[in-house]
Amino acid sequence: MKTQELTDSFSEFKDFKNIDRETLMHILEEVFRNALAKRYGSDDNFDIIVNIDRGDLEIYRNRVIVEDGALTDDKHEIEYSDAIKIEADFEVGEELPEPIPLTEFGRREILAIHQNLVSKIQDYEKSLIFNKYKEKVGDIVVGEVYQPWNKEVLVLDEEKIELILPKAEQIPADHFRKGDTVRAVVLKVEFKNNNPVIILSRVSPIFLERLLEAEVPEIYDGLISIKNVVRVPGERAKVAVESYDDRIDPVGSCVGMKGNRIHGIVRELRNENIDVINYSPRPELMIRRALSPAVITSIKIDEAEKKAQVYMEPDQVSLAIGKGGHNIKLASKLCGYDIEVYRDTDEDYEDVDLKEFEDEIEPWIIEELIKIGCDTAKSVLALPKDELVNRTDLEEETIDEVLRVLNAEFDEEN
């Protein structure tokens, strides 16, 4: 194998962009020292000079010059007669640096060295990528869609590092095409099959948190604190915020003049409705704010069970529950209480408690309806059938039978 071929063989490593010169030189030296130790039994008397710019290296073996006939270790010593063949003015006792041409290595050795280099550099690059993104977990990154698939989207960052956005971490209304720009938060980084895998998310509450930090300077500066964020991705979100300065309105600052700050975030989240709420350490006040715009008549809180029974006028119940039950579910998560909504029946004497129908409707079905805040006949009839099916674990046929029984009750009264 010619020297030029060997030089060309290793010159490719000077173009690695993710590895600094010093580290690359260290890797090259380490690989060649291993090869020298294997060939000569030791590498302790060898110097290796790496030239990254030229893509080559020089190897020198250092041996002490001894008198002819006094040689005891040919690996660390050289006789005077042999030394002066290399350089005529050497003397006994001096150290002779002898260049070792790369051609001295056989083709098989060179191929093994090359493969070892490739493996070590790739492993180092993988480690760099892993550590870089491990520090970015919870941060927003921007990338370009390289390949959309059914179960995930392959995204490339500015350094062409591959990032994965799984279908489960996409907002339901997300539809990406090749070349689209994507913003997402780094959810986690892990090694799979010795390769770093970077998982992104657009449904994590942290994503909304970071978007708010980017849009609201008061949050970034620490004047406003985000206490909690809960989401039903693409549908609705609730954010509790608190100001450390009485002169700053935290809700107004987050929403912005005419909603200019929040609108950009809403568009990014595919028209997700975002409720920004002023945080309060008082559970009752916090629940009232979380269920807004519904007006609450009274609240009973069980601190031990972390439950809250909320009573309100019949016309306010649908507002409190929200489309698909999202409002009440998010309010429960935001406040940390299991909120149950009940109609204030003091003024509705014509309504009938659901438990009075236990002779016609099985008790477990009644319990399912009570769980979603429907404790009276009229509260059930006030909701569309589709909503009753979606919010309970009941079959459509079961809901039909319940509605038939309840409608029959009021038909008889009429």
Write out pLDDT tens, residues 212-237: 999 999 999 999 999 999 999 999 99
Bigger pLDDT: 116 vs 63:
63
CATH topology of domain 3-131: N Utilization Substance Protein A; Chain:P; domain 4 (3.30.1480)
Contact assessment for residue 156 and residue 163, using Cβ atoms and an 8 Å cutoff:
yes
350-413 topology per CATH: DNA polymerase; domain 1 (1.10.150)
pLDDT at 15: 54
Query: How much is the pLDDT for 142?
Result: 97
Average pLDDT over residues 78-107: 84
Average pLDDT over residues 336-352: 74
Of residues 23 and 361, the one with the higher pLDDT is 361
Is the pLDDT at 347 greater than 50? The verdict is: no
Q: Is the pLDDT of residue 53 over 70?
A: no
Q: Tell me, what's the pLDDT at 18?
A: 61
Residue spans in the chain of domains classed CATH 3.30.1480.10:
3-131
- Cis omega (within 30 of 0) for bond into 293: yes
Kindly report, as residue ranges, where domains of CATH 3.30.300.20 are found in the chain: 214-279
Q: What is the pLDDT of residue 74?
A: 83
**Token pair of 292, please?**
């807004």
Q: What is the CATH number of domain 214-279?
A: 3.30.300.20
How far, in Å, CA of 327 to CA of 275, rounded?
10
**Residues forming CATH 1.10.150 domain(s) in the chain:** 350-413
pLDDT in tens, 164-218: 999 999 999 999 999 999 999 999 999 998 899 999 999 999 999 999 999 999 9
Query: Residue 122: which pLDDT band, with cuts at 50, 70 and 90?
Result: confident
Q: Could you identify the residue written with the tokens 């005077």?
A: 80
**What's at 344, amino acid-wise?**
D
For residue 33, give both structure tokens: 């020292």
238 vs 316, which has greater pLDDT?
Answer: 238
| Cβ atoms of residues 178 and 145 within 8 Å | yes
Q: Which own/partner contact pairs does 108-114 have at CB distance under 8 Å and 24+ positions apart?
A: 109/35, 109/39, 110/1, 110/6, 110/9, 112/35, 113/31, 113/32, 113/35, 114/9, 114/10
- Compute the mean pLDDT over every residue in the chain, rounded to the nearest whole number: 87
How do residues 293-321 score in pLDDT, each as one tens digit? Answer: 898 988 999 999 999 999 988 888 888 98
Give yes or no for residue 7 having a pLDDT over 80: no
Whole-model pTM: value is: 0.68
Q: Quick one: what percent of the chain has pLDDT higher than 90?
A: 47
CATH architecture entry for 141-203: Beta Barrel (2.40)
Please list the residues that pair with 274 across neighbouring strands.
237
Residues ≥6 apart with Cβ < 8 Å to 201: 165, 169, 184, 185, 187, 207
**Residues of CATH 2.40.50.140 domain(s) within the chain?**
141-203
